[in-house]
């Protein structure tokens, strides 16, 4: 993997490799862009097959956070971190506190939070060594687990997609296939069922599937077939890369709208494949922005009602993106990228002007 070539192509500012022999910590922190503010993005823990796979994941995830913050109107940059290893074996207080020291050494350029396999209690251990964390419990003055707000944003994004594609104002009778019943997926299932949607669920963990069937009346499906079901909406809520050359031709849904990051294995070709098949795609970093909105609110004094209200705004954001895509004849992910990049360029230009004016004032002294 050509690391610096990838950094140049993707526009990253900084990548930090973290290692501690005594705790077994192997982690990567990627800061993509801080034009709009400090880079904020969760930490995920995963037993990657290789270090290169972990690096590729954190680079893509951190870039997505930049676009997510920009298109959501937040004053944040994009960053992400990954801890390499089996979370069932490697987790310890010492590991997370050591990770916290690495984060603290960046002086606030990167703020972390929960992501895949990282829970509130893990982040609280990180917070023992650094203040640059978000998503701690309400007892500590934080917002706690952002998953419910992420799910609420995805739920509103599905409603917007159904409105745009199917002309429906509600989800009663709408069929949805949810791939992944983790923290976000389960909350999403609850929101969907409560509005009368017919929901199918699948997960690598059979117990999670049983739980959603029992609690919400969802119908179980196999993990291999969940994306092939004859439904209105396919909602990927697991790991990325699910939309690829193999799966896209098998999708029968009219809409793809889910919480997973980096759903398109290749942003250009696979976004075009969905468009050519007439499938409406909700750009993942737009529809799943509720979690970021939630932890951003924590930085300014947490108010759950305000966070949820802002997450509901994903409905209008997606409708605007869909309309932009139609008017300009481009894919929905291209349209959302353009909107995000336009804001980034405007703020960067403002900063350049401010620096120029500051230099001129200094020169006159």
Q: Annotated active-site positions, please?
A: 80
Distance CA 246, CA 227 (A): 11
Helix (H) or strand (E) holding 220: strand 219-220
The neighbour count for residue 83, using CB atoms within 10 Å, is 27
Tokens of 93: 């207080």
The HSE-up count of residue 6 (CA atoms within 13 Å, CB side) is 15
Pairing of strands 255-256, 280-281: parallel
Q: What residues form DSSP beta bridges with 111?
A: 40
- Number of helices and strands in the chain (H, E): 14, 12
Among 175, 172, 179, 185, smallest CA distance to 231 is for 175
Looking at the DSSP assignment, which residues form a beta bridge with residue 54? none
Please name the residues in contact with 95: beta carbons below 8 A apart, sequence gap of 6 or more: 20, 23, 24, 25, 83
- Side-chain-side CA neighbours of residue 23 (13 Å): 20
Please report how the helices 3-10 and 51-71 are oriented relative to each other, as an axis angle in degrees rounded to 10: 10
Give every CB contact of residue 325 below 8 A, 6+ residues apart in sequence: 331, 332, 334, 335
Percentages helix, strand, coil for the chain (3-state, rounded to 5) are: 50, 15, 35
């Amino acid at each position: 993997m050509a690391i610096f070539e990838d950094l140049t192509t993707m526009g990253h500012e900084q990548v930090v490799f973290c290692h501690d022999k005594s705790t077994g910590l192997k982690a990567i922190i990627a800061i993509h862009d801080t034009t709009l503010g400090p880079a904020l993005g969760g930490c995920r823990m995963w037993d990657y097959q290789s270090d290169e796979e972990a690096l590729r994941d954190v680079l893509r995830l951190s870039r997505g956070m930049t676009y997510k913050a920009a298109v959501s109107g937040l004053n944040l940059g994009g960053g992400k971190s990954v801890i390499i290893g089996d979370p069932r074996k490697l987790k310890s207080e010492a590991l997370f506190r050591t990770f916290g020291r690495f984060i603290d050494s960046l002086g606030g350029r990167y703020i972390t939070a929960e992501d895949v396999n990282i829970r509130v209690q893990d982040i609280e251990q990180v917070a023992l060594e650094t203040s640059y964390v978000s998503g701690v419990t309400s007892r500590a003055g934080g917002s706690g687990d952002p998953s419910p707000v992420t799910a609420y944003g995805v739920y509103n994004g599905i409603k917007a997609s159904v409105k745009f594609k199917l002309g429906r104002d509600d989800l009663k009778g709408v069929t949805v296939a949810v791939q992944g019943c983790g923290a976000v997926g389960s909350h999403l299932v609850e929101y969907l069922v409560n509005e009368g949607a017919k929901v199918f669920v699948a997960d690598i963990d059979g117990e999670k599937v049983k739980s959603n069937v029992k609690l919400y009346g969802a119908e179980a499906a196999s993990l291999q077939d969940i994306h092939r079901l004859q439904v209105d909406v396919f909602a990927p809520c697991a790991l990325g890369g699910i939309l690829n050359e193999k799966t896209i031709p098998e999708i029968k849904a009219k809409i793809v709208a889910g919480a997973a990051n980096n759903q398109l294995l290749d942003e250009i070709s696979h976004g075009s494949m969905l468009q050519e098949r007439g499938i409406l795609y909700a750009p993942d970093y737009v529809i799943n922005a509720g979690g970021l909105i939630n932890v951003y609110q924590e930085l300014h004094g947490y108010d759950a009602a305000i966070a949820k209200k802002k997450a509901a705004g994903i409905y209008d954001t997606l409708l605007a993106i869909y309309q932009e895509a139609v008017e300009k004849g481009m894919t929905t992910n291209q349209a959302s990228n353009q909107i995000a990049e336009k804001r980034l360029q405007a703020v960067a230009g403002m900063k350049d002007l401010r620096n120029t004016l500051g230099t001129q004032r200094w020169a006159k002294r």
